[in-house]
Amino acid sequence: MALGLLLSGVFTVFYFSQSWNAYAQARHDGGVQISQMLGTVYADGKMPAIEMAMEGPLAGRAVLEDAQGNVISGTMAPDFADKATTFPLTHDGEALGTLTYATSTKYSPPLPYWLAVLVCLGISAISALIMRAFARSVGQSVDQATQLISNYSLAGTGRRRVTDFTFSEFRQLALETTKATRRVAKELENLRASARIDERTGLLTERAFHDEVRDTIQGLAPGGHAVLVTIEFEPQTPGADGANLNLATDAHAEVADRLRIFASQSAAKHGHFPDNWLLGSLFAEQYALLIKENVTRDETAAIIRELLGEFRIPLRFNQQTLPVSLRGSIVLMPQDGDSLSRVMDRGQATIEDLKQKSRTGFAFYSPKLERQRDAKLKLEAELRQAVAEDRFIPLFQPKIDLETGRISGTEALARWQLENGRLVSPSVFIELAEETGLISQIGEQIMRKACLETAKWAQEGFRVNLAVNVSPRQFENDNLAETILDALAKSGLPPRQFEIEITESLAIQQPERVRAVLEPLQRLGIKLAMDDFGTGHSNLAVLTQLDFDVFKIDRQFLTGTPHDPQANAIVDMILSMANSLEMKIVGEGIETEAQAEFLTKRQCDIGQGFLYSPPVTAQAFGEMLKSQPFMAKRLSA
């Protein structure tokens, strides 16, 4: 009965909705026809005909407006205002104005409402009779099938004889049912087994291993202990990035075999049951060992030394050898964690800490990692807020013409300004900014503000060049060039006064990317400076791949000058090379008069360092430009 009511309700809704749609379409078509007719009349300039129509059959139901919205003719009665629709008034594709029109025809369904109700009730009654007959027929069939299944259940297949069935068809059905049931049972058993075993290694899958860890934690007796060792393999082949192990299934099989041999031998050596040492394959090159024994910290360290010794011999597979190094974590349960999520997270945190320190080997989990992680998360949140609030400002370190002592340029250096006005050194936040990608937004803020200040000094009559550091992460953004040009355009700073500093490592690792971004900018007059040359690969080929304008001698080479002959020789070589390449030379990190004099005698162009000034605020730098204190000092010398 309920289904019959549902069907009748659906029919009713469908019937009235279709009749309403037909009414709405007719009303719309009527409006279109009227607007077309009036458009033709209006285009012909026959205003009397329009007035006649508006005061006659369309009176109070239509308003004609020109293209500027001025009423040409007609009125709209309040009763029709809510029903009115606006149509475009056109002629030969030209928009002449609009027609607001409301039809006088009221909605009326094709069938009277009382007749529609009778039809719905009839549909309900017929549906109820049909469904009742269908339910009775199906019910009988279900009862028969239920009786058959109860007489021939899976539990009774061993006792029930197929010949007990009267019909041969039923006997055949019973035989096929028995075979199918046994096949399904066998498949289920295989699926349960395969769900626990990793096909690549034959060890426990990640999920199965996690279940074992969880059960072990929950089953620890008071005073009981267990150890979770997470192991990560890294190829030592020159230039390998981990792809070899990731692709070579045979290599993983070799790793798993060695881990099994190690676990069996080491468990026996330490007097443990081998079944209490479980191995799992987690993901990629990561494996895990669960020792469900009361193992001391010292004994665990000894086991790890044995594990490292097992893998000192390179892997051998497919007639190849692959040296590997191991990196891993050791988590003691329950003191380091009393749940699966905690022990796994803390094991991974220990591995990540080793990676950040570029270390291999194993480390015990330490609670300080939690504090470091929390501090890092707090710093990241504060850093994101500072970026959103535009709290990064440039400080300016002067660059001095060593010949005259005049300030010829400046380098903009990033600082984080807190709400209390205190400035935070970049050593606190730059690494995290690079890691999170916030360095691009910070660099944009520094660049924009530094350009504004430099342009303002130029307006005051002090033209200096501005140098800004651009990090490798910023070059990953496709809009870097757009950001630079936008900062120059909004500040009014000429491109010839702007200098981009990049590191030697960036120039070597991404020369094509750097060239693609910077060559168009250099054609506009922007200069390119090599920063920190000699601190990385000291690859001279990079000097021919990119068109550098400025060459900066790193501070570490000036530390020994002028008293260390070896340091002097290195600086002489760098100066000679830069001069031969017609680059402007900047000596960075000058701290003594002797260093400044040493560079001056060797035709170094620019000096920069704490001898002259640390990085200062824009206001302080502006005062320096006015007083030019280093010129007076140079003249007195």
Q: Kindly state whether residues 330 and 429 are assigned to the same domain.
A: no
Residue 500 near residue 514, CB atoms below 8 Å: no
Treating both helix axes as pointing N-terminal to C-terminal, what angle do 426-436 and 368-388 enclose, rounded to 10 degrees? 80
SS3 state at 123: helix
Residue 183, in any domain of the structure:
no
Q: Of 224-238, 469-483, 532-546, 610-624, which gets the smallest average pLDDT? A: 532-546
Helices (H), 531-615: 542-545, 555-558, 565-580, 593-601
Residue 161 covered by a domain? no
For range 444-471, the mean pLDDT? 96
CA distance 48 to 266: 109
Q: Which of 306, 295, 355, 303 is nearest to 328 (CA)?
A: 355
Kindly state whether residues 281 and 399 are assigned to the same domain.
Answer: no
Same domain? 512 vs 570: yes
Read off the pTM: 0.59
Do 129 and 7 reside in the same domain of the chain? yes
CB atoms within 10 A of CB 291: 24
Residue 15 binned pLDDT confidence (cut-offs 50, 70, 90): low
CATH of the domain at 617: 3.20.20.450
Residue-level pLDDT at 162: 46
Whether 403 is covered by a domain: the verdict is yes
Q: Which domain holds residue 297?
A: 206-366
With a CB cutoff of 8 Å and minimum separation 6, the contacts of 529 are: 467, 499, 500, 501, 502, 548, 549, 550, 551, 552, 586
Look at residues 312, 334, 366 and tell me which one is the last residue of a structural domain: 366
Answer for the pair 244, 322: CB distance below 8 angstroms, yes or no: yes
Of 154-158, 176-180, 562-566, give the range with the top mean pLDDT: 562-566
- Does 254 reside within a domain? yes
**Count: domains in the chain:** 3
Q: 3-class SS at 79?
A: helix
Residues 401 and 336 both lie in one domain: no
Q: Which helix H or strand E contains 182, and what residues bound it?
A: helix 168-194
Domain boundary among 123, 151, 179: 151
Both 429 and 563 in a single domain?
A: yes
The answer as to whether 179 is a domain residue is no
Quote the distance between the C-alpha of residue 570 and its chain's center: 44
Q: Specify whether 143 is located in the same domain as 106.
A: yes
Is a pLDDT exceeding 80 seen at residue 322? yes
Give 362-395 pLDDT, tens digit per residue.
999 998 888 888 898 899 999 999 999 999 999 9
Lowest mean pLDDT among 127-131, 168-172, 492-496, 629-633: 168-172
Model pLDDT for residues 269-278, shown as the tens digit of each residue? 999 999 999 9
Rounded to 5 degrees, what are φ and ψ at 285? -100, 20
584/563 same-domain check: yes
User: In which residue are the tokens 């981009």 written?
Assistant: 500
CB atoms within 10 A of CB 495: 17
- Segment 251-264 shows an average pLDDT of 91
Q: What is the mean pLDDT of residues 210-235?
A: 91
**CA angle (177, 178, 181) in 5-degree steps:** 80
pLDDT in tens, 286-298: 999 999 999 889 9
Residue 385, domain member (yes or no) = yes
Q: Note whether 134 and 267 are same-domain residues.
A: no
Q: Rounded to whole angstroms, how far apart are CA atoms 353 and 357?
A: 6
48 in any annotated domain? yes
Quick check: 625 pLDDT over 50? yes
Q: Which among 345, 366, 387 is the end of a domain?
A: 366
The answer to whether residues 357 and 382 belong to one domain is no
CATH number of the structural domain spanning residue 247: 3.30.70.270
* Cα maximum dimension of the chain: 126
- Same domain for 491 and 443, yes or no, is yes
CA within 13 Å, CB half, 171: 8
Question: Which range has the worst mean pLDDT, 67-71, 185-189, 413-417?
Answer: 185-189
Tokens 């069907």 belong to residue: 7
Which three-class secondary structure string do you get for 414-456?
Answer: EEEECCCCCEECHHHHHHHHHHHCCHHHHHHHHHHHHHHHHHH
Same domain? For 335 and 397 the reply is no
Let me know if residue 190 belongs to a domain.
no
Q: Measure the CA–CA gap between 432 and 375, rounded to whole angstroms.
A: 12
